[in-house]
Structure 1
Amino acid sequence: MLGIGTIARKVFGTPNDRKIKATRPLVDKINALEPEFEKLDDAGLIAKTEEFRKRIADGESLDHILPEAFANCREGARRAIGLRAFDVQLMGGIFLHQGNISEMKTGEGKTLVATFPAYLNALTGKGVHIVTVNDYLARRDAEWMSKVYGALGLTTGVVYPQQPEDEKRTAYAADITYATNNELGFDYLRDNMKSELSQMMQREHYFAVVDEVDSILVDEARTPLIISGPSQDRSELYIAIDKIIPELADDAYTMDEKTRNVTFTEEGNEALEELLHARGILPEGQTLYDPESTTVVHHVNQGLRAHKLYSRDKDYIVRDGNVVLIDEFTGRMMVGRRLSDGLHQAIEAKEGCQIQPENVTLAQVTFQNYFRLYEKLGGMTGTAATEAEEFMEIYGLGVVEVPTNRPIARQDDDDQVFRTAREKYDAIVEEIKIAHEKGQPVLVGTTSIEKSELLSQLLTRAGLKHNVLNARQHEQEAQIVADAGKLGAVTIATNMAGRGTDIKLGGNVEFKIMQAIEADPEADPEAIRARIEEGHAQDEAAVKAAGGLFVLATERHESRRIDNQLRGRSGRQGDPGRSSFYLSLEDDLMRIFGSERLDRMLSKLGMKEGEAIVHPWVNKSLERAQAKVEGRNFDIRKQLLKFDDVMNDQRKVIFAQRREIMEAEDVSEITEDMRHEVVDELVDTYIPPKTYADQWNTEGLYAAAIEKLGVDAPVMKWGDEEGVDAEIIRERLEEASDKMIADKAAAFGPATMRQIEKQVLLQTIDTKWREHLLTLEHLRSVVGFRGYAQRDPLNEYKTEAFQLFESMLESLRETVTEQLSRIRPITEDEQRAMFQQLAQQQAALRQQAEAAQPATAPTPVPAAADTGAEAGGVALAPLVEGFDESNPDTWGSPSRNDACPCGSGKKFKHCHGRLS
């Protein structure tokens, strides 16, 4: 008997079907306009773009222009790159424009789909960002699709790491900008650390299309983007602790692989304390429970995690003496990214690498909060349906499954579950051998470098030629993926998320043509293309006859999406294919999530060596386990986000305040308000409301006025005057402080004074915000314990974070007022002394740079934390010939924003041209 829900779906269709049906009239409209746009010449397409821009400026909506704009874009793409978009690609573009995620299978042409909503929304002149998962894809897509946008009269830019500032500014000013999620987030943080509007890169956050949206907005959203600077060096402590960890017995700690955490047992604490005393790390008489031991306990915990939970060639690799993290979702190296809280340093100590100093946070943002800045967001991926709830709840994004252009012909086998890993691998090698003998290309998916290399050894032993794609072969990635569809090819890959290169049956024809032209530059390119396309057609037919691409996965991932991404590599655009998962009870997912019951059941069934259990029920129970893990991970991300939202509200206030200051020509009104508020606080402190004159502390107020306001006012005398109340003293102090600042402005000159006020304000805001971030980190780490007292940690965090923010603003007002009261024009003697001091600092920096590395090695660049910002080395050669520290006549005439002629790499205004 059918349920009510099933009957309703049969009659009305699923919600997804109804969304697809609703776009059909729009697609028909676009198709009906095609002949009209085909008749236009190339200049006519650009003229249409100008016409659309004018209509939008005159108030016409984007939805009204959509059919014409999409028709124009389709024609532009057909002429520029020879691709005519299918109806389903137009559908995908419509859903993106509406602020949804278009779930489109691999090989359905998502790169082209993004051009439609990008073109339409760029007509507003506000700029569109297309977000990719790595720099290679950002550059490739920008180069390829810029031909389309160029044919329509729009500009395209691409943003990448270590890009020259002028080039980056031009890229952001373009109509459509391609960039990675990391670079966009970092540029947002960097922009909000700049001191002038002209230095900022990004424009408003209007519309973004996120490619591989599940990878970027879900997988990578667990780690915040952090820009940081080095703090004190604790290398010796890490090395000393690293030597202790191997001496600990297994019963000294308990390990939780699910949450990646380790905790010491009571016996372990005692043993650890003895070892720390014996090595002199913990002073005699001090226990691990003393407040002074917090740092040591923290580092020991991180050392234990580094040894027991982080494995070389799985979580990281060691390259050129550096620990480089591996992205667990894409299998790529994350160069420049570092684990925080001293964990990266603990791994460096374990591997015997040079330990980089720990870092302090200068600015941070989560991907969730960065992407929620956009007025409108759209996303594309092959696998989003399993995370639909998270996308809707956190980003307000609906997920629409767009039908494939041709029906899927791939055969998906039930999982095969073996008792041991050895039996599983034997069966995998046998299965690859069978497929290889009939010429069927095989893509083997593994979950770590270690396992990919183990399988590679087994295949080598069996005499099977193959390619390995993991973080070590990162550079040959596109080539290996392009060859994976060739007749009889065997490819082992750690992860296939966001590879960006389609696996085409018979091999990638464009790659073959490109290689042939490079090998013989004199030959006729058209003749080469014709010859290779003819040979490719035969290869493709042979591969299809052999069954298409066979995807063989060696393990289930925690997330169903990653499994579906791998499976989706086969059967693109209606091609034949097959996918199969080979599992064992020793796999991480099976082991951590309850394989004991299954093991007992298989033992009772009397399974023989090498036999596998294959049944749809097993698939369902595995999917349930994966759904539980996904749910738990979502809860973790949701909880993290709730905490980060508190900081995000404060971040928005601070960043908006900074921007307001940078935009203002004159900030004297802001500093005056701050000064008057400081006066209010001082008067309220020393002359409390509703008190008599004999209860006033005028001596204290006099001293505070000198310290905080720089004003030597006769406060005690005022207090003795008849009829003088707190309000009159307040007014007199305000007048005295205003006069003192007016005198300074006259001495410096109004323009210089305005510049000084702006710089003091921005620098103080930045300093206070950094200190506040650190305080919030500490609060976050301890607030969880409030749960033991039956208090909600999140509410406690919100309340205390708000109080901390209030006290930060109060401290900001005081510091700005204090600093402005102390500045004064410097005398010639003081100027000479300052130049001598600068010369000594330069010499000291030069010595440090020379001592840091042998003369043959490049100057090292300090590492940055987590996903790290760049930190520069020391430039030593002066930019101006004959430069003399103590003689300004030899400096030339640099403007305030030019590089300083001393060669420090700083701007002139921040170096030799700075105001004391």
Structure 2
Amino acid sequence: MFASFARAIFGTSNDRALKAYRRRVAAINALEPEISALDDAALQGKTTAFRARLDAGETLDDLLPEAFAVVREAAKRVLGMRHFDVQLIGGMVLHDGKISEMKTGEGKTLVATLAVYLNALTGLGVHVVTVNDYLARRDAAQMGQLYGFLGLSTGVIVPGLDEPTRRAAYGADITYGTNNEFGFDYLRDNMKYRLEDMVHRPFHFAIVDEVDSILIDEARTPLIISGPSDEPTSLYAQVDEVVAAFLARGRVGEDGKHEFYEKDEKARTVTMTELGAETVEEMLQAAGVLPHGGLYDLANVSIVHHVQQSLRARTLYARDVDYIVREDKIVIIDEFTGRMLEGRRYSDGLHQALEAKEKVQVQQENQTLASITFQNYFRLYPKLAGMTGTAMTEADEFEQIYKLSVVEIPTNVAVARDDQDDEVYRTAAEKYEAVAKLIEECRGRGQPVLVGTTSIEKSEIISALLDRKKIKHSVLNARFHEQEATIIAQAGAPGAITIATNMAGRGTDIKLGGNYEMRLALEPGVDPVALKAEIDTNQAKVKAAGGLFVIGTERHESRRIDNQLRGRSGRQGDPGASRFFLSLEDDLMRIFGSDRMGGMLQRLGLQEGEAIVHPWINKALEKAQKKVEIRNFDMRKNVLKYDDVMNDQRKEVYAQRREFMSAESVSDIVAEMREDVIAGLVANRIPEKAFPEQWQSAELAVDLNRVLALDLPIVDWAAEEGIDEVHLRERIEQAAVQAAAAKAEKFGEALTNYIEKSILLQTLDHVWKEHLLGLDYLRQGIGLRGYGQRDPLNEYKREAFAMFAAMLDELKERVTGALAHVVVSETPAAPPPPPPVPMVESHPLPGHVAPELALTEPVVQESDRVRPFREDEVDPAKPETWGITPRNAPCPCGSGKKYKYCHGKI
């Protein structure tokens, strides 16, 4: 109550922020006559003057009013657009490193030019991040005219660019690109072997367009660069055949549950019942897939993994909803946009299970080489800002994760859209009939309609229904962004009916009467004057008919997506309306809605074909959506907590790589590693405070020969009078230094530097890759520690730290051993770079990985890498019978040493 009273007197924090910004708007407006009087040359010369003032000690805040006035004047001359006062406020919010929430159609693309220009004056580079390639190209081309007029360069980052072009784009004052490309370039840079091959500049300032989509919706899973593993793919097809027969054999009870498994659609997991486990075990044995032991024997863990993923593929993932089959490939459909995501793959073998299910070629699983979450990538920018039409519902998450506050910018003209109450029906069929009836009514009065759906399957159901009723319409699903923009731009024409996934065409305005610029580009030879007159006439017709009517066919799990769909109507004060049609069979109602809602509607006497419309229903649905939003926020926070552990290690490794690459010579680093390795070897064979007769002198001599290629009389030295561990270590170090110096003299300084740096970098990459794999395994099983009353996160931190320390020790030993054994038969004129590793870039989709697997992808199970075998199959004399032996396991030859010190040595 007190808070409400305080807000009434002092205003909200948003009101107070806007009041401060409006004072600066007045200062910018006061400069307009002076700036407008400048000719083009004088206006363009302002950029050089601003940079000189920055060099003289002024700050960007000092320049802001004049710089914004310059951008507004340049936009009038180059683009024919003048920034509104509310757009100036939006630009100041972005410059302050906050999120600017502006309704659809308020010109966010133009708003960004203000903060982009001001911050680009520093010469440190500004990144503008968009949700797709089409918008990146479009905005860079359109706004690049403005920046070019003012003397700034613009680049664009999209897939398929070669390295020089990519490097030049990053070198521009302003760089447009997609979130995935920026992130993958960062990971790729940290896999390069020369500084001059890197493309990214040091991070400075980024503005994220559709910030909620990128920093919220896509942040539940990381970006991953992976390489091929040795895992065969035939097992997926074998297991899928068994699982298909297994599911067909089971019965479904009266309660709708299958006797062999239980599934949780909220968590997207499936678990076999005891009967199911027994049945599938028998079927696998009969099919020869499970030759030895039971399903849950240790040697058969990989088969359990394959069965589990095949079950998920067949019970939780539907064709034309979660994915489509195209050109003998499984192509994922983004649950938020309905777009095809070429190149993306589901995690942890799920994609391979779907390939086996759909009888397309099963691709190899991959092993993680590098990964980063969007949270940790975007937090690399010292200054980050964003803009969207829907951010307030997630304001807490933006503040907690990114330290970004949200400022709601008022519209230039008041919103006139009529947001009507939801209509709830008993069945989906009744709901679709009601949607079709409303579409017919709108078409009869010439009112354009945008129908939002949540999947391709549902958009096709509505399309088929309209076809039967002979209602002409356009369908937008899983098409290219360019086609998408073309169709969505004309969705405001009189009587136009467009069916689209909820966010299709985001970034392109729906203008009532049609889009003049788009039609002019698509219809060469058309008379511009006649076209403008036609569109003006159509616009008047559409406004008289009530503007764009947005129909939602289902509530999305996030209120933001619903608000985005609604926001397509009523831009810049245009008339419009929106209404959502729901049924008790909708996923949100079925999975997250109140169990009492169905009973309540029946008690109210709801008949077939009738709908219930009441504000209480809206509130109940909002509560259900809030439940899902909270659950998804918890999932993203959980991902981030675990990734923060890896992030600290990733920063350290990447900093080390950069240090190695920038150093003229790494000889001192290598020498320090060699000393640490010798100290470790000596300490391993000479216990603390032990007498010389207790030393393992012979074993130490073997270790030194294995690692350092030194044949030293350790046994004789140990027998000398008065020798101690310190003197022995000094002799070994001296011998190692002499051997290294002799090798360096033989190779020459240039080649020695090259060899040392190459081995150091390649070995670091190798042990880091193995470490990532180890963290994957640790992450998957760490949740079980909770049953022992231990905090899984603390356990993960502790063990990950120990693994990182072990990785550094392994790095030192491998580098030292490799340099000691390296041989150059002839001196090459120009040493070739290391061979490229075939890599796959992927971004697992939110909602398509089980929560416990949402951290990394793809993952290879340890049991998948070690060939199942029986003890009597292993012949110590025949390495081909050993399978793939982990480096820290005892060597199968029977020597008693670890494999890495015996047959697996470098």
> How far has the Cα of 1:473 moved from its partner?
6.6
Aligned partner of 2:887 in structure 1 is none
The separation in 1 between residues aligned to 2:815 and 2:197, in whole angstroms, is: 23
The separation in 1 between residues aligned to 2:731 and 2:738, in whole angstroms, is: 10
Aligned partner of 2:160 in structure 1 is 162
The separation in 2 between residues aligned to 1:862 and 1:357, in whole angstroms, is: 12
Aligned partner of 1:273 in structure 2 is 281
| Helix, strand or coil at the partner of 1:331 | coil
Moved more, 297-306 or 738-747: 738-747
Aligned partner of 1:332 in structure 2 is 339
The separation in 2 between residues aligned to 1:585 and 1:62, in whole angstroms, is: 55
The separation in 2 between residues aligned to 1:53 and 1:734, in whole angstroms, is: 56
TM-score under structure 1 length normalisation: 0.89
Aligned partner of 1:857 in structure 2 is none
Asked whether 1:344 is paired with 2:343, we answer no
| Helix, strand or coil at the partner of 1:222 | coil
The answer as to whether partners of 1:338 and 1:864 remain within 8 angstroms in 2 is no
The separation in 2 between residues aligned to 1:789 and 1:96, in whole angstroms, is: 48
Q: Aligned to 1:56, which of 50, 54, 57?
A: 54
The residue type equivalent to 2:312 in the other structure is R
Aligned partner of 1:895 in structure 2 is none
Aligned partner of 1:424 in structure 2 is 431
**CA deviation map 1:752-785 (0-9, x unaligned):** 1001111000000000000000000000011110
The residue type equivalent to 2:759 in the other structure is V
Change (3 A) 1:595 1:457: farther
Aligned partner of 1:238 in structure 2 is 236
The residue type equivalent to 1:564 in the other structure is N
> How far has the Cα of 1:709 moved from its partner?
1.7
- The equivalences for 1:703-718 within 5 A come to 703-718=702-717
Aligned partner of 2:542 in structure 1 is 543
Asked whether 1:640 is paired with 2:639, we answer yes
Q: Aligned to 1:254, which of 256, 262, 266?
A: 262
Aligned partner of 1:308 in structure 2 is 315
Asked whether 1:806 is paired with 2:805, we answer yes
Aligned partner of 1:899 in structure 2 is none
Asked whether 1:443 is paired with 2:442, we answer no
The residue type equivalent to 1:269 in the other structure is A
| Helix, strand or coil at the partner of 1:410 | strand
**CA deviation map 1:604-629 (0-9, x unaligned):** 11122211111111111110110111
The separation in 1 between residues aligned to 2:605 and 2:754, in whole angstroms, is: 83
Aligned partner of 1:216 in structure 2 is 214
Change (3 A) 1:786 1:172: same
The answer as to whether partners of 2:32 and 2:69 remain within 8 angstroms in 1 is yes
> How far has the Cα of 1:496 moved from its partner?
1.7
Aligned partner of 1:378 in structure 2 is 385
The answer as to whether partners of 1:331 and 1:470 remain within 8 angstroms in 2 is yes
Aligned partner of 1:264 in structure 2 is 272
Aligned partner of 2:375 in structure 1 is 368
Aligned partner of 2:517 in structure 1 is 510
Change (3 A) 1:748 1:343: same
The separation in 1 between residues aligned to 2:260 and 2:839, in whole angstroms, is: 36
| Helix, strand or coil at the partner of 1:404 | coil
The answer as to whether partners of 1:497 and 1:565 remain within 8 angstroms in 2 is no
Change (3 A) 1:80 1:472: closer
The separation in 1 between residues aligned to 2:626 and 2:748, in whole angstroms, is: 67
> How far has the Cα of 1:498 moved from its partner?
6.1
**CA deviation map 1:623-676 (0-9, x unaligned):** 011011100110011011101110010000000000000111111111111111
The answer as to whether partners of 1:495 and 1:566 remain within 8 angstroms in 2 is yes
Q: Aligned to 2:91, which of 87, 90, 93?
A: 93
The answer as to whether partners of 2:475 and 2:498 remain within 8 angstroms in 1 is yes
> How far has the Cα of 1:867 moved from its partner?
6.0
The answer as to whether partners of 2:320 and 2:456 remain within 8 angstroms in 1 is yes
- The equivalences for 1:560-709 within 5 A come to 560-709=559-708
Aligned partner of 1:894 in structure 2 is none
> How far has the Cα of 1:866 moved from its partner?
4.5
The answer as to whether partners of 1:358 and 1:865 remain within 8 angstroms in 2 is no
The separation in 2 between residues aligned to 1:696 and 1:423, in whole angstroms, is: 86
Aligned partner of 1:492 in structure 2 is 499
> How far has the Cα of 1:97 moved from its partner?
1.0
**CA deviation map 1:11-68 (0-9, x unaligned):** 1111111111111111111111112221222222332111222222333221111111
Asked whether 1:467 is paired with 2:486, we answer no
The answer as to whether partners of 1:227 and 1:867 remain within 8 angstroms in 2 is no
Aligned partner of 1:882 in structure 2 is none
Asked whether 1:112 is paired with 2:110, we answer yes
> How far has the Cα of 1:293 moved from its partner?
1.2
- The equivalences for 1:548-559 within 5 A come to 548-559=547-558
The separation in 1 between residues aligned to 2:384 and 2:482, in whole angstroms, is: 31
Aligned partner of 1:411 in structure 2 is 418
Moved more, 489-498 or 582-591: 489-498
The residue type equivalent to 2:54 in the other structure is I
The separation in 2 between residues aligned to 1:319 and 1:233, in whole angstroms, is: 25
Change (3 A) 1:43 1:159: same
The residue type equivalent to 1:695 in the other structure is Q
The separation in 2 between residues aligned to 1:182 and 1:52, in whole angstroms, is: 33
The separation in 2 between residues aligned to 1:187 and 1:484, in whole angstroms, is: 36
Aligned partner of 1:146 in structure 2 is 144
Change (3 A) 1:705 1:500: same
The separation in 1 between residues aligned to 2:118 and 2:723, in whole angstroms, is: 68
The separation in 2 between residues aligned to 1:197 and 1:254, in whole angstroms, is: 53
The residue type equivalent to 1:466 in the other structure is H
Change (3 A) 1:29 1:864: closer
The separation in 1 between residues aligned to 2:63 and 2:660, in whole angstroms, is: 39
| Helix, strand or coil at the partner of 1:362 | strand
The residue type equivalent to 2:706 in the other structure is E
Aligned partner of 2:366 in structure 1 is 359
> How far has the Cα of 1:321 moved from its partner?
1.1
The separation in 2 between residues aligned to 1:689 and 1:233, in whole angstroms, is: 44
Moved more, 501-510 or 44-53: 44-53
> How far has the Cα of 1:710 moved from its partner?
2.0
Aligned partner of 1:45 in structure 2 is 43
| Helix, strand or coil at the partner of 1:797 | helix
> How far has the Cα of 1:4 moved from its partner?
2.2
The answer as to whether partners of 1:230 and 1:864 remain within 8 angstroms in 2 is no
The separation in 2 between residues aligned to 1:789 and 1:318, in whole angstroms, is: 44
Runs of 4+ in 1 over 3 A off after TM superposition: 472-475, 861-869
The residue type equivalent to 2:492 in the other structure is G
Change (3 A) 1:754 1:827: closer
Structure of greater relative contact order (alpha carbons < 8 Å, 6+ residues apart): 2
> How far has the Cα of 1:184 moved from its partner?
0.6
> How far has the Cα of 1:707 moved from its partner?
1.4
Moved more, 449-458 or 725-734: 725-734
The answer as to whether partners of 1:213 and 1:379 remain within 8 angstroms in 2 is yes
The separation in 1 between residues aligned to 2:777 and 2:171, in whole angstroms, is: 39
The answer as to whether partners of 1:356 and 1:863 remain within 8 angstroms in 2 is no
The separation in 2 between residues aligned to 1:709 and 1:279, in whole angstroms, is: 51
The separation in 2 between residues aligned to 1:158 and 1:867, in whole angstroms, is: 24
The answer as to whether partners of 2:477 and 2:504 remain within 8 angstroms in 1 is no
The residue type equivalent to 1:191 in the other structure is D
Aligned partner of 2:892 in structure 1 is none
> How far has the Cα of 1:721 moved from its partner?
2.6
| Helix, strand or coil at the partner of 2:551 | strand
> How far has the Cα of 1:418 moved from its partner?
0.8
The residue type equivalent to 2:79 in the other structure is I
The answer as to whether partners of 1:212 and 1:498 remain within 8 angstroms in 2 is no
| Helix, strand or coil at the partner of 2:447 | coil
Aligned partner of 1:878 in structure 2 is none
The separation in 1 between residues aligned to 2:752 and 2:85, in whole angstroms, is: 62
**CA deviation map 1:780-803 (0-9, x unaligned):** 011110000101100000000000
User: Which structure 2 residue ranges, 5 or more long, are not aligned?
Assistant: 251-257, 846-855, 857-905
The answer as to whether partners of 2:134 and 2:482 remain within 8 angstroms in 1 is no
